[in-house]
Structure 1
Amino acid sequence: MQGYIKVDAEMERAVARVTASFPFPDYFDPELSGHITIAQTVQRYLDPGARILDFGAGPADKTAMLAALGYQCTAADDLQDEWHKRGGARRRILDFAERMGIEYIPLDDGALPDTGKFDMVMLHDVLEHLHDSPRDLLIGLLERVRDGGYLFVTVPNHVNLRKRLAVLRGRTSHPPYELYYWYPGNWRGHVREYTEGDCRALAEALGLWLREVQGTHHILGKVPRRYLRAYLAVSRLIPSTRDTWSMVAQKPPAWVAKPELDDAEFRKLTGLKSWGELAH
């Protein structure tokens, strides 16, 4: 470990176990890619043995960190990213999850567990890929969380330092256009990234108690080494420039889902008389 994040011996052992078993060795550096900060966040709210659903888990790398720390983990993903379909990646992911004691549900041929089973549902780097509102998805997932349980979301920061500097230089804050243009099939990249205000609005719209929202680092590995110390210094002074937002919200007792707005709420919230006015 290079010392960017303080870890205890238990976390060191978890990192070593996951690194030794993970089937894609060049995929991540646990210290630079958010795995440790995600695990530390979970530890602040739940004790080992708690039940966690990681939705959109991909190769279950972040899920595995928690499994190695003693949590009961279920992972779910459609495994339809382009790289999931190549080189036997899907089978390697499922085999890795089994070795780590993770129940993995491929969403193309499985169903999520019944309601009220989990202490926390996590979505890491998922919401920014959705082409539609996350409302229905998150309501369905929260129905599978016990009263008093948690929603833990991480999303890219739409106004991080790199993107602010890019826009000031007249460049795009979106992925390179060539990547978007040549992407095979339906676009699976980022559709809408988030700000701190978006995270707060999401928790409020879902009727949850917001416990924390803070800037964090999940892609330090993409920062050139010669700039890393300067980047960390700036982001310590201005946390809103960090690359990722981390939000934890709690499900209140007797929580009731709100699937839509009535007419009065719609007009108050948007100032519009109908959705059709958005086209003008």
Structure 2
Amino acid sequence: MQGYIEVDTEMERAMTQVIDAFPFRGYFDPAISGHISIAQTVQRFLKPGSRILDFGAGPADKTAVLAALGYECTAVDDLQDEWHKRGRARQLILEFAEKMGIEYIPLDGGPLPDTEPFDLVMLHDVLEHLHDSPRDLLNGLLERVRNEGYLFVTVPNHVNLRKRLDVLRGRTSHPQFELYYWYPGNWRGHVREYTEGDCVGLAKALGLKPREVRGAHHMLCKVPPRFRRAYLAASRFMPSTRDTWSMVAQKPPGWVAKPELDDTEFRELTGLKSWGELAH
């Protein structure tokens, strides 16, 4: 398996197992995707056998790599992306998860069932799709994580090198307009992408301790092959220009969710001197 990330025999085996079982051919290229990067990040913080909740798991491709490496995995998704609803996609996803030993919980409008605490909850390419603050969602998920467990998120870098160059050339840094225009139903594409400061701010707002915040390459497929070597070389010296931010933050003992700011905190944040100013 050739790529920019070095892998050991165990990872090779896990990736081969997932690729052989995955029902959607061509969905991901293991040589240039984030699957290995995500799995290696989890390995740095948790041993096999640890309990992982993958929220927004989609077809459970990333979840499956971890399951193949010996982690106890639960996947959650509403499976309402347009392609999930076409043909037999939903059935194939659930059958794949079962084959890989993953507990898959489709969200059909109800709450998540009660479970034993997880060692880590992860959300990959999820937060950028939310139309509202991730506060309530993440607080709820963190309540399912043990003390000193982890939150692991990856999000697109809003100021990656490709987007910086596009803006300099007068192009948009947002999703393709035609895709947005023709998307059926409610828009489920990117709403708000993240920067490094946003990731650190997210951990702080949630009351977590950042353990690792780094730039990563999860979407090299969007870089034309003839430019890929130069792109990798440039981003090696400027990690903040890589396509993805990867953050692992730890839940401290005694953690309590903070659902909202008090009056003083909100006024300081917004610059309002009094609530009366809200009327103007």
Q: What TM-score range do you get, normalising by the shorter chain?
A: over 0.9
Q: Distance in 1 between matches of 2:277 and 2:94?
A: 47
**What residue is the counterpart of 1:193 in the other structure?**
193
Alpha-carbon distance in 1 for matches of 2:189, 2:16: 30
Q: Does residue 212 in structure 1 map to residue 217 in structure 2?
A: no
- Once the two structures are superposed, the pairs formed by residues 122-141 of structure 1 within 5 Å of their partners are 122-141=122-141
CA distance in 2, matches of 1:107, 1:253: 29
**Structure 1, 71-80 or 218-227: larger mean CA deviation:** 218-227
Which one-letter code corresponds to 1:86 in the other structure?
Answer: R
AA in 1 matched with 2:51: R
In 2: Cα distance, 1:279 partner to 1:32 partner: 51
Change (3 A) 1:256 1:90: same
Paired amino acid for 2:236: R
Q: SS of 2:234's equivalent?
A: helix
Q: Matches of residues 14-163 of structure 1 in structure 2 within 5 Å? A: 14-108=14-108, 111-114=111-114, 117-163=117-163
Rate the CA distance shift 1:152–1:279 in 2: closer, same or farther, 3 A.
farther
2:255 corresponds to: 255
Secondary structure at the aligned position of 2:186 is classed as coil
User: Any idea what SS the aligned residue of 1:53 has?
Assistant: strand
Where 2:267 maps in the other structure, the secondary structure is: helix
User: What is the CA–CA distance in structure 1 between the aligned matches of 2:104 and 2:149, rounded to whole Å?
Assistant: 21
Alignment match, 1:9 = 9
1:279 deviates by 9.9
Residue 179 of structure 2 corresponds to which residue in structure 1?
179
C-alpha contact (below 8 Å) 2:166/2:173 kept by paired residues: yes
Sequence identity percentage: 81
1:223 corresponds to: 223
Do the aligned partners of 2:160 and 2:243 also contact (CA within 8 Å) in 1? yes
Deviation at 1:277, TM superposition (A): 6.4
Structure 1 position 178, deviation (Å): 1.1
Give CA deviations for 1:96-127 in whole Å, capped at 9, x if unaligned. 00000000000016642426610000000000
Deviations 1:20-56 (A, max 9, x none): 0000011001231100000000000000000000000
Matched positions, count: 280
How big is the shift at 1:185? Answer: 0.3
The one-letter code matched in structure 1 to 2:242 is R
Cα distance in 1 for partners of 2:275, 2:225 equals 48
Cα 1:180–1:229, aligned 2, differ >3 Å: closer, same or farther? same
- Per-residue CA deviations over 1:209-261 (Å, capped at 9, x if unaligned) read 11011100111122111111101000101001100000000000010000000
Return 5+ residue gaps in structure 2 as ranges: none
| Displacement of 1:146 | 0.4
Which amino acid in 2 is paired with 1:247? Answer: M
What's the offset of the Cα at 1:144?
0.4
Q: SS of the counterpart of 2:194?
A: coil
**Deviation digits for residues 130-169 of structure 1 (CA, Å, limit 9, x no counterpart):** 0000000000000000001000000000000111011111
Q: Relative to structure 1, is the Cα distance of residues 245 and 235 closer, same or farther in structure 2, using a 3 angstrom cutoff?
A: same
SS in 1 for 2:66: helix
1:50-106 superposed Cα distances (whole Å, 9 cap, x missing partner):
000000000000000000000000000000000000120000000000000000000
- State the secondary structure of the residue aligned to 1:57: coil
CA RMSD of aligned residues (A): 1.7
